Structure 1
Amino acid sequence: MEYLEVFDSIRPYKDSEVNEAVKRFIQHPFFDQVTNRLFPEKSIDELKKSLSEVSSVKDFQKVMMYPTARRVLDSSSEGITNDGFDRINPENAYLFISNHRDIVLDSTILNVLLFELGIDTTEVAIGNNLLVNQWVTDLAKLNKNFIVNRNVAPREMYSYSQTLSSYIRYTILEAKTSIWIAQREGRTKDGDDQTQQGLLKMIGLSGGKDFYENYAPLRIAPMAISYEYDPCDVLKAREIASKLAGQPIEKTPEDDLQSMIAGITGVKGRVHISIGKIVDEKLQEIREIKNKNDQMQALADLIDERIHKNYKLWPNNFIAYDWLFENRFSDYYSKEEAEKFEDYLRNQAKMFSADFDELKGPLLAMYANPVKNKLKVEGLAESEL
């Protein structure tokens, strides 16, 4: 049996499968609807003709995904800035572990920037709960997404986790392709980005017993993404408020689809993406920790520290912190910016038929928590914010 067959339920499409998948993709009614919205000036027939000639994942990204993503970002943001990409050697593959704010765009922005730098794009972990139909599934697997099953029975979880871990290691070390994965399952709803130990344990299942030899070859690159505005902020705040009230919302595939659309099309303001220092130089120290759980927590803390340190904090973050905790950062924003932010939040609540006063606490917290986390980074002076 070919080694890759073990990963058939996980992996994206291979080049040999692209042509057949593209045929399904362009024949689905969703294709015309999406294309009309994103490229109103383009002929759908011409785009279908170009796509029908695509025979590789790389070509699909060049013809469809890059121009689509760039169009979305240009129309819904005030620009993408970045730093830390000089830490990336195009000859190497990396495991990008990232804070997770938007279902689609966190990894998309990384891949847009890599594409523009002439560096191979990453494979991206995506939950199977988001694959709401065959069209979305084809789009995801054509665009180098690999599938993480969120519905594994408890008795099968260890075996499944081993397979997923082996796939990640195979992709980075053998296929020489980088991977993007969120630091936790699902988006961070409250802006308090923390890496889950369970994720790191899963990644390590396919490695050896020696901690350093297990994790160092993966070249873990902490990634921080900072949105000036979160288009899904009210939807997230509603979930938090419902949970606190003891009435958690049972999300449906339609809810996930609404969040995807809102995240893609909604106003984001400025966006910054930062690649932190690769964690390998600290792994030797963590290796000396005897307790395995403490070892995993030390690695999680290291990744968190580098994500938090690389946040780009916007005036909205400081405003929310001052309103929620103490008036500490008034020099970082103007009165006009504070009024603009409040108007934005009230309009967001109205757009989603929500009560601003009921959601004010969780809304402010999700914008304020990045400030709290950056302040916690050891040795950080306020002047460095």
Structure 2
Amino acid sequence: MEYLEAFDSIRPYNDSEVNEAVLRLIQHPFFDQVTQRVFPDKSTGQLKEALTEVRSVKDFQKVMMYPTARRVLDNSSAGISHDGFDKINQDKSYLFVSNHRDIVLDSTILNVLLFELGIDTTEVAIGNNLLVNQWVTDLAKLNKNFIVNRNIPPREMYSYSQTLSSYIRHTILDAKTSIWIAQREGRTKDGDDQTQQGLLKMIGLSGGKDFYENYAPLRIAPMAISYEYDPCDVLKAREVASKLAGKPIDKTPEDDLQSMIAGITGVKGRVHISIGKIVDEKLQEIREIKNKNDQMQALADLIDDRVHKSYKLWSNNFIAYDWLYGERFSDHYTKEEAEKFEAYLHKQAENFSADFNELKDPLLAMYANPVKNKLKVEGMVESEL
């Protein structure tokens, strides 16, 4: 697809730019290091030769990204399951609004499944803070990532948000390409997934004043991804604990890179992706709300409800909930599973040179909060937990 010039600072590469970017990619020393690690049984030379013939983003994903992602998932997970993809019409484009647990893999796993189902992959929002060098930038833009700038001065934010909103709308409605975007800026550190009003307001900037006509054409598809184990759980718990102590961690690009590598290579156990019911029929009701902030919150709550309802809860989630709040779900796990999870948490703390006792509560909350959220959306109230 060819993009409008107004989106040059945001967009992925056009097909006409692919071959030059691929040549830069394969000539860099990083390429040999990565491919030798992912494909130790394959010739790097053969892969480079195949890539020199690539002339489109679709071909790049077929030759490079899909095999790489599938190999990584096969090596670091105990299997990927999914449901709700029957809600997707492959002749239509969608705005996938997803909970966000892993920097790279949330959207990657969605696109692996779409690829295997014969459905066009999505474009993916990526923060410019993650583009730590030209090699990573080339890789991202070759793989249908569009850039969200996190460093816009306040006086320029509204204009930038309008451009970003217009890009999203143009991509979905005119280019007929789906988009994946996280429901909030940055990963959820405590497992409590909530859609930010600001995100929804930004998306609506390019639409008309009528609420329904603004949001309905985007076909918002709430998406939940559920990891049995979060490879970055200790890193996230450390951030939460530091923030609670009034000493928030000032993260560097190297910290983000460490999280990316840990998320990609770390053990994830089983992983499940679920697509919730497309957000459309309730928009007419939300349209009648007069206060704009209340209207946005109602839309955020609707998306959250469908994300939370779509969680796949693993035994670890129930174990963590019981350890924090008292035994309630012991019929959802065995003694052996509880012992295995406890050993896992201690080993993770050791791997990251952390004190388990200091991080115990945020670690458990991270795994327990999906249970709390799913209970609430299925009719329970907080006082019953």
TM-score normalised by the chain length of structure 1: 0.98
Matched ranges for 1:55-70 at <5 A: 55-70=55-70
Moved over 3 A (4+): 378-381
CA apart distance, 1:246: 1.1
Paired position in structure 2 for 1:325? 325
Distance 1:238 1:280 in 2: 39
The CA distance in 2 between the partners of 1:266 and 1:3, in whole Å, is: 36
**Ranges in structure 2 where 5+ consecutive residues have no aligned partner:** none
| Matched AA of 2:62 | K
Distance (whole Å) between structure 1 residues aligned to residue 88 and residue 17 of structure 2: 30
Report the equivalent of 1:306: 306
SS in 1 for 2:347: helix
Per-residue displacement from partner, 1:95-131 (whole Å, max 9, x unpaired)? Answer: 0000000000000000000000000000000000000
C-alpha distance in structure 1 between counterparts of 2:144 and 2:102, whole Å: 18
C-alpha displacement of 1:13? 0.1
Give matches, 1:157-176, under 5 Å. Answer: 157-176=157-176
- Find the counterpart in structure 1 of residue 289 from structure 2: 289
2:368 corresponds to: 368
- Once the 2 structures are TM-superposed, how far is the Cα of residue 245 of structure 1 from its aligned partner? 1.0
State whether structure 2 residue 28 is matched by structure 1 residue 28: yes
CA drift of 1:172 comes to 0.1
Deviation at 1:380, TM superposition (A): 6.5
Change in Cα spacing, 1:3 to 1:77, as seen in structure 2 (3 Å) is: closer
Residue in 2 aligned with 1:53? 53
Corresponding position of 1:220? 220
Cα distance in structure 2, aligned partners of 1:182 and 1:150:
14
Query: Residue deviations 1:190-235, cap 9 Å, x none?
Result: 0000000000000000000000000000000000000000000000
Match of 1:209 in 2: 209
SS of residue matched to 2:26: helix
Shift of 1:379: 3.3
TM-score where L is the length of structure 2: 0.98
- Contact 2:93 2:178 (8 Å CA) reproduced: yes
1:335 aligns with 335
> Following the alignment from structure 2 to structure 1, what is the Cα–Cα distance between the partners of residues 328 and 195?
28
Tell me the distance in 2 between the aligned counterparts of 1:357 and 1:41.
42
State the alpha-carbon separation in 2 of the partners of residues 101 and 74 from structure 1: 19
1:273 matched to which residue of 2?
A: 273
Root mean square deviation of aligned Cα: 1.0
CA contact (8 A) 2:78 2:269 kept: yes
Give deviations 1:352-373, integer Å, cap 9, x for gaps.
Answer: 0000000000000000000000
| Matched AA of 2:99 | N
In 1, Cα distance between equivalents of 2:301 and 2:3:
34
Secondary structure in 2 aligned to 1:118? coil
Counterpart secondary structure, 1:146: strand
Q: Which runs of 5+ in 1 are unaligned?
A: none
3-state SS of the aligned residue for 1:49?
helix
Partner Cα distance (1:56, 1:281) in 2: 37
CA distance in 1, matches of 2:364, 2:172: 38
Question: Contact 2:3–2:11 at 8 Å: present in 1 too?
Answer: no
Once the two structures are TM-superposed, the CA of residue 3 in structure 1 deviates from its matched residue by 7.1
